[in-house]
C-alpha cells in the first residue's frame, strides 16, 4: 500500500495531538492527525470537560441551598442526575464539533483509525471497528500523543457496573446511594465533591496520610476538614487488601476493617497508553510503561517525539498542549523551515529543554485548589532558603461579600532575592487566580514587584497582593510581623 506523505504525523487527537496539529498547520506544515475515537481525547470526553460541567452544576446547587444566607428567598435545589448528564453530553458535543471545525479550517487531515509504526517514518492506519489496514502515512517527523488510561489496583479488574473507573462514572444516569472512592488524589476528590453535593453517601479511602498527597500538605489537610464537615467520610492510611462484589461491593483493608457500598470508584492514577503502537518496529524505547523522551521530548529515534500523558511526565492537559507547541517549534527548525522561532509562544524552542517549573495544577473541588511552582517543603529539599506568607480569604472583602471565605493564598519566595518561586491557593476561584501566580513564577518576579502592582478592588485577587505584602510582614488587612529582606526583594518605600 502506497503511503501518503506529510510533514508531520500525529498519533492521538487529545489536548496534545489536536493542539499540536493546529499549531503546526498554522505554521505551514502539512499535518496528518490519526485518532481511533472522537477528537479531543480523554480530556474532552471523559475527563476535564465533562467533570467540570458537572462541577459547575453542583456549585450552582450549593449556592441555591445557601440562598437564605445570602438574603434571598429559599430555593429547593431539586435536581436530577440524568438531567445533569444530558447537559454534560451537550457541552462535550458542542466542544467536539468546535475542535473538528478548527482542524478542518487549518487544513489538518484527520484519519479515523488506530495508528501503529511500520518503521521509523511510516504509520499504518487500521479501521477502529474491523481492524483492517485502511491507509499508510509517511513523515519525517512523528509525534506520539496517545495519552493514558486509568490504572487498576493489583488483582482488581473494573467491570464498569459496580467497580468503576472515572470514565464509567460519566455513563451513570443515577447518583449512587453510597459510593466508595479508592484514591484521594485530584480525580477522586473531585468526584467525592460532586456525588456528595447530589446527595450520595461518599467514603474516600486514601493509602497515604493525607488527601492530595502530591500537593502542599496544608491543601490536603484543609480539604480533609472541609470534606468531613460536608459529611464525606475520609479514611487515611487505608491499604486496600481486596474488593469483593456481591449484593454490595465490599472493600477490605489491611488493618482488618471493611467498607460496603453500592459502587466503588477506583481512582489510583493513570498509566501511559502505548499498547498497539508498534513502537518496537520503529525502535522507540520505553521508560517503564511510558515512552522515553529527552529534555526536548524527542525519543531515542531522531524525528520521533512524544507529548502528554504517554511520556509519564506531568499528566495534565495543559502540559500536553504546551509540550506539543514546543515539539512543533523544534520540528520547524529541524526541517529547515525556520532558523529560529519568532512567533509569540515559540520562545521555548531555543531553551535547553522543556520547562516544568511554572506549571499550574488545579483541583476542582469546593473550595477549589490550585498550586504552581515549589511548595515550602520542596524548596527546602532543594537547599533553598525561603520564606512563606499566608493570607486568609476570611480577610478578603470580595470573599466575604460572596459568602465564600474558606481558604487562603500562600506564596513562597527566595529569602535573599525575594523572587516568587511558588504559590498555593485554596478558596473561591482558585483555579482562575493561580494564573496570576503562575505568571509571577514564570517571569521570575519578586514579591516586591507584586507589591508594586495595583490589584483591582474588590476582587479575590487582592488576596495575592496581600500575601505578597505578608512576605515582608506588612499586609494591610491582617496582622503581620515586619521582616527585613535584601534590596532585591524589598517592597516599595
Copy the grid coordinates of residue 427: 478558596
Residue numbers annotated as active site: 457
Q: Which of the 8 DSSP states describes residue 318?
A: H
* DSSP states of 327-347: HHHHHHHHTTS-SS--STT-G
As a whole number of Å, the CA-based R_g of the chain is: 24
438, 255, 259: which is closest to 359 by C-alpha?
Answer: 438
**Residue 489 near residue 445 (C-beta atoms within 8 A):** no
Give one DSSP letter per residue of 114-147, joined into a string.
EEEEEETTEEEEE-TTT--EEEEEE-SEEEE---
Q: With contact defined as beta carbons under 8 Å apart, do 281 and 118 qualify?
A: yes
Q: Which three cell numbers stand for residue 292?
A: 522515553
- Measured CA to CA, the distance from residue 75 to residue 78 in angstroms comes to 9
Enter the C-alpha cell of residue 361: 495544577
Distance CA(447)–CA(209), nearest Å, equals 32
Q: Describe the chain by its helix, strand, coil percentages, rounded to 5.
A: 35, 25, 40
Cα distance between residue 343 and residue 28, in whole Å: 13
Amino acid at each position: 500500500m502506497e503511503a501518503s506523505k506529510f510533514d508531520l504525523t500525529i498519533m492521538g487527537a487529545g489536548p496534545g495531538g489536536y493542539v499540536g496539529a493546529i499549531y503546526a498547520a498554522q505554521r505551514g506544515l502539512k499535518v496528518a492527525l490519526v485518532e481511533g475515537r472522537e477528537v479531543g481525547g480523554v480530556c474532552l470526553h471523559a475527563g476535564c470537560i465533562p467533570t467540570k460541567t458537572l462541577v459547575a452544576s453542583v456549585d450552582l446547587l450549593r449556592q441555591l441551598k445557601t440562598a437564605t444566607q445570602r438574603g434571598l428567598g429559599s430555593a429547593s435545589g431539586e435536581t436530577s442526575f440524568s438531567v445533569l448528564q444530558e447537559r454534560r453530553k451537550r457541552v462535550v458535543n458542542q466542544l467536539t464539533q468546535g475542535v473538528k471545525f478548527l482542524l478542518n479550517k487549518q487544513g489538518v487531515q484527520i484519519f479515523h483509525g488506530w495508528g501503529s509504526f511500520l518503521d521509523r517514518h511510516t504509520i499504518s492506519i487500521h479501521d477502529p471497528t474491523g481492524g483492517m489496514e485502511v491507509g499508510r502515512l509517511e513523515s519525517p517527523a512523528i509525534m506520539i500523543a496517545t495519552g493514558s488510561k486509568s490504572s487498576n489496583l493489583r488483582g482488581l479488574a473494573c467491570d464498569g457496573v459496580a467497580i468503576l473507573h472515572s470514565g464509567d462514572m460519566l455513563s451513570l444516569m443515577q447518583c449512587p446511594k453510597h459510593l466508595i472512592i479508592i484514591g484521594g488524589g485530584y480525580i477522586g476528590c473531585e468526584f467525592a465533591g460532586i456525588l456528595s453535593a447530589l446527595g450520595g453517601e461518599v467514603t474516600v479511602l486514601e493509602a497515604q496520610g493525607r488527601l492530595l498527597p502530591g500537593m502542599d500538605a496544608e491543601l490536603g489537610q484543609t480539604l480533609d476538614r472541609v470534606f468531613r464537615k460536608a459529611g464525606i467520610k475520609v479514611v487515611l492510611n487505608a491499604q486496600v487488601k481486596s474488593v469483593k462484589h456481591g449484593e454490595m461491593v465490599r472493600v477490605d483493608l489491611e488493618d482488618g476493617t471493611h467498607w460496603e457500598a453500592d459502587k466503588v470508584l477506583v481512582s489510583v492514577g493513570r498509566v501511559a497508553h502505548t499498547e498497539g503502537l508498534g513502537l518496537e518496529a520503529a525502535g522507540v524505547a520505553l521508560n517503564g510503561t511510558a515512552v522515553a523522551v529527552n529534555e526536548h521530548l524527542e525519543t531515542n529515534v531522531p524525528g520521533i517525539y512524544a507529548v502528554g500523558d504517554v511520556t509519564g511526565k506531568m499528566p495534565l492537559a495543559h502540559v500536553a498542549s504546551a509540550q506539543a507547541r514546543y515539539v512543533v517549534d523544534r520540528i520547524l527548525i529541524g526541517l529547515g523551515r525556520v532558523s529560529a522561532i519568532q512567533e509569540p509562544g515559540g520562545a521555548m524552542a531555543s531553551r535547553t529543554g522543556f520547562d516544568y517549573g511554572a506549571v499550574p495544577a488545579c483541583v476542582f473541588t469546593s473550595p477549589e485548589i490550585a498550586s504552581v511552582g515549589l511548595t515550602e517543603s520542596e524548596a527546602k529539599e532543594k537547599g533553598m532558603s525561603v520564606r512563606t506568607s499566608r493570607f486568609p480569604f476570611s480577610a478578603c472583602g470580595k470573599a466575604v461579600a460572596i459568602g465564600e471565605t474558606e481558604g487562603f493564598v500562600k506564596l513562597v519566595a527566595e529569602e535573599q532575592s525575594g523572587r516568587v518561586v511558588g504559590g498555593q491557593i485554596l478558596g473561591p476561584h482558585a483555579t482562575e487566580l493561580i494564573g496570576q501566580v503562575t505568571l509571577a513564577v514564570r517571569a521570575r518576579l519578586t514579591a516586591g514587584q507584586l507589591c508594586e502592582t495595583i490589584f483591582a478592588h474588590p476582587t479575590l485577587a487582592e488576596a495575592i497582593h496581600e500575601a505578597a505584602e505578608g512576605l515582608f510582614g506588612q499586609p494591610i488587612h491582617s496582622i503581620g510581623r515586619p521582616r527585613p529582606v535584601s534590596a532585591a526583594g524589598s517592597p516599595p518605600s
